[in-house]
Amino acid sequence: MIYFIAIIILLIYACIFRSIYERSVIDTTKINIIHKLASQSEPVILFFSDLHGVSFGKNNEKLLTAIDKINPDAIIIGGDMIIDKYKHMTNDSKAKENAIFLLNKLCEKYTVYYGMGNHETKSRVNDKIKAEYKNYIYRIENKNLHILANKHEYVTIKGTRFCIYGLEIEPSYYSKKTLKHADSAYIEKLLGPEPEHKHSIPIVISHTPDSFDACAKWGAEYVLSGHNHGGFIRLPYIGGIIASNFRLFPKYSAGIYKHKDCISTMILSRGLGTHTIKFRLFNKPELIVIKFKPKG
């Protein structure tokens, strides 16, 4: 019995130290998309989500170095750069300062499209921290930063035309108590009519993967999501163990998902940071590099 308890304690410590190591290491996932509208120049879009004010090295130098090594043609952020708690949103908060510094630094070199996560949305509507959130937005305003809160922009990246939508849903859709899923009519109410597919590639930044079905039925060709942090613990053949709403074995945790009824693909990031549950196992922080290649 003593040996069994000792083994359990050793395993717990091993998991803790493994998690500490993993949280400091950045993984890069490369995805090639073959598309009839992609140019021969093969534009590269970097996608990441869920920083939560974390810093990889001083002033996020490790993260910035990894991004500069990729040298993307544009960057898409899936939301949750911050944490919607007062202590994390005050002007001297390390988490808030880390997010501001990273965004401003990225905008010196890249065009950035920033979709809203639940932490941004909750900060904006929370009377206790809405002033701090306004200060955050004021300090990241930049001609190279495009904040897409139920907005879209047509953009040409290395000869390929995209329409990038930023979906911002109500906080009630993130409730941990009751499951509430958006439908395509709700998406249309927020984003407008179904996008055209003839001349541009429609991309929707939808922070939660639970909106994938609704976005697909609305007409999104590609959906970029985060929120579930890869399921916190990932196991072979099973995937993520727990979702951000604390439900076990979520349908979507990380990776690429094809919709069964629509021509729609979701790319789901494992995210970069943590906040409430500061734990990752077999689930390193992730940058996703998406290259659009022409058919043939």
The count of other CB atoms within 10 Å of the CB of residue 100 is 20
Of the candidates 73, 40, 45, 47, the residue with the CA atom closest to the CA atom of residue 293: 40
What are the pLDDT digits (tens) for 68-94? 999 999 999 999 999 999 999 987 799
pLDDT above 90: residue 221: yes
Q: What is the pLDDT of residues 54-72, one digit of tens each?
A: 999 999 999 999 999 999 9
Task: Please give the pLDDT value at position 276.
Answer: 80
Burial class for 88, CB neighbours closer than 10 Å (0-12, 13-18, 19+): buried
What is the model's pLDDT at position 120? 97
Q: What is the mean pLDDT of residues 206-231?
A: 96
Q: What pTM, to 2 d.p., does this model score?
A: 0.96
* Residue-level pLDDT at 246: 86
pLDDT of amino acid 176: 82
Amino acid identity at 227: H
Copy the structure tokens of residue 239.
């995937």
Give me the mean pLDDT over the 5-34 stretch. Answer: 90
- What residue ranges in 116-231 does DSSP mark as E strands? 145-148, 151-157, 160-167, 201-206, 222-225
The pLDDT value recorded for residue 11 is 87
CA distance 37 to 168: 27
Distance between CA atoms of residues 148 and 165, nearest Å: 7
In terms of Cβ atoms closer than 10 Å to its own Cβ (0-12, 13-18, 19+), residue 63 is: buried
Region 110-126 average pLDDT = 96
